[in-house]
Amino acid sequence: MTHFPVKPPNSIFVQIASYRDPQLIPTLLDFIHKARRPDLLRIVACWQHAPDETVGQFWQQGFGKWRTEQTDNWAVQHLSYRDAKIELIDVPHMMSQGACWARNLLQQRYGGERYTLQLDSHHRFVSEWDTLVIDMLESLRDQSPKPVLTTYLPMYDPENHDSLKSDEPRILAYSSFNRDGVVVFRSKRLADWRTRSQPVRTRFFSAHFAFADGHFAEAVQHDPHYFFLGEEISIAVRAFTHGYDLYCPHRLIAWHEYKRSYRVKIWNDHTQEAKDRGDIEEPWNERNQRSFQRNRALLGVDGEPWPQEDFGKYGLGAERTLADYEAYAGISFALRGIQKSVLNDDAPVPGVQPVSEAAWKASLLRANDVRVCVHRHSFDKHALMHGIEHPLPVAASAVATIYDQGDTELRREIVDAGRLCRHRNNDWLDFHATFESELERIPAYCVVELLDNDGNVLSRVRRAIDP
């Protein structure tokens, strides 16, 4: 453990990864204005910006006391605002390597603060949020020596200030295993939050809001080899195996922007065309696929473990095992299995121990994410209605029926007119069917039918499903 100079008791190391985000400055202003003790905040932002996005924009908003620190790799712009300290790691946007790389870069600047808070660069906050999160975290000390507060926050719209209407805290819940084996979350209203006196246990970790003891920024650092999707489930497991316990705040702390339609994202810039021009070393999708492979190996998704030493300090902890996390969370990574309690959004139970392999399998359902993707030429080839040679453009609805190897129907997915319009793009019908089945029932093929307004079948196509 690194030794740092003694910091004030309630000092907070704030980590903000920002990629070309015009909401960064408004977020900082709101964050600092709403803090009870801005003088105890040390805010470090990985400022990934285009040439026309300059430090002068911060000066114009009242940020001052500017100086530049030159590190081995990056300039760091030091600013202040209302006694809060701000450090901008100055990264030209085409030199970025992704969100997790940026978060890791931030964590290298941890300076021994009592607490750490990880955010995105598009938030709004309640008044005296800092006192609120500290009080909540400290209220958990009799339950856990290493609690972490984390959740998906309710939404706000920066173009509509009236959208800050919800005062209801939200909790992370299971959504699906995606095709690449990443466990994806959603959020839901925290039930009975008004009568709760403490945060509640949760299975998962949110990268856009996490508050913990400062040592969390050292012990469970983001793996810079991850790109974006997969970071949250990997941090949840790694935090748990390092002895941290995950909790959802029982009071509203802030709002998060999910819209993002106006903002340039890294996948808009880091394209194959940018690589061909020599602007970047590799496009985002190559980093993304490598990240998925690393996540599968870390968690043993579909039975693909790597030796623990391959991950170094970005591997699992030694205080609990992967099996301990799976028992706690009700999830099997190797089998893509989910317990019914997870699907029912039941609260996780601390201290649950792994059971025998037979009992474990018997408790699970298989989580399936089947991509249904058929080109119009296939529908044309299998057209059934006389006089309609091109059924995809004229279809009113569709039905995809998914079977296992023994021809047992596992799922019948009805695609109504609205969904068909959304998923009928560029001569393809392309959508995902997510569902659960008995553990041994593995999807093998699907039959896709296009229907007219009267329910007549215009075309029927059978497609194998890749395992």
Sorted by where each starts, the structural domains of the chain and their CATH numbers stand as: 1-362 (3.90.550.10), 368-464 (2.60.40)
Identity of residue 427: D
Angle, vertex CA 142, rays to CA 138 and CA 147, nearest 5: 55
Which string of b and e fits 405-441 if b means at least 16 CB within 10 Å? eeeeebbebebeeeebeebbeeeebebebbbbbebeb
Say how far apart CA 205 and CA 103 lie, in whole Å: 15
- Return d(Cα 375, Cα 412) in angstroms, integer: 20
The continuous run of DSSP H or E covering 364 comes out as: strand 364-375
- pLDDT of 7: 82
**Residues whose CB is less than 8 angstroms from the CB of residue 276 and which lie 6 or more positions away in sequence, other chains included:** none
Residue 427 corresponds to which tokens in the numbers above?
Answer: 């001569």
Rounded Cα distance between 57 and 70, Å, is 21
The owner of tokens 């316990």 is 245
Mean pLDDT within 166-190: 93
Average pLDDT, the chain: 94
- Name, in order, each residue with C-beta under 8 angstroms of 334's C-beta and a sequence gap of 6 or more: 300, 301, 302, 303
**pTM beyond 0.85, yes or no:** yes
DSSP string, 14-48: EEEEEES-TTHHHHHHHHHHH-S-GGGEEEEEEEE
Positive/negative CA dihedral, 224, 299, 147, 200: positive
Provide the pLDDT confidence category of residue 310 given band limits of 50, 70 and 90: confident
- Helix 231-241 to helix 322-329 angle, to the nearest 10 degrees? 110
Query: Which amino acid makes up residue 89?
Result: I
Question: Tokens 């939200």 sit at which residue?
Answer: 170
Query: 112-162, pLDDT tens digit by residue?
Result: 999 999 999 999 999 999 999 999 999 999 999 999 999 999 999 888 766
Residue type, 92: P
Q: Express each pLDDT in 69-121 by its tens digit.
A: 999 899 999 999 999 999 999 999 999 999 999 999 999 999 999 999 999 99
pLDDT bucket at 358, cuts 50 / 70 / 90: very high
Which whole number is the average pLDDT over 327-337?
96
Q: Are 349 and 328 in contact (CB under 8 A)?
A: yes
Name residue 119's beta-bridge partners. Answer: 16, 209
User: 371-388 pLDDT, tens per residue?
Assistant: 999 999 999 999 999 999
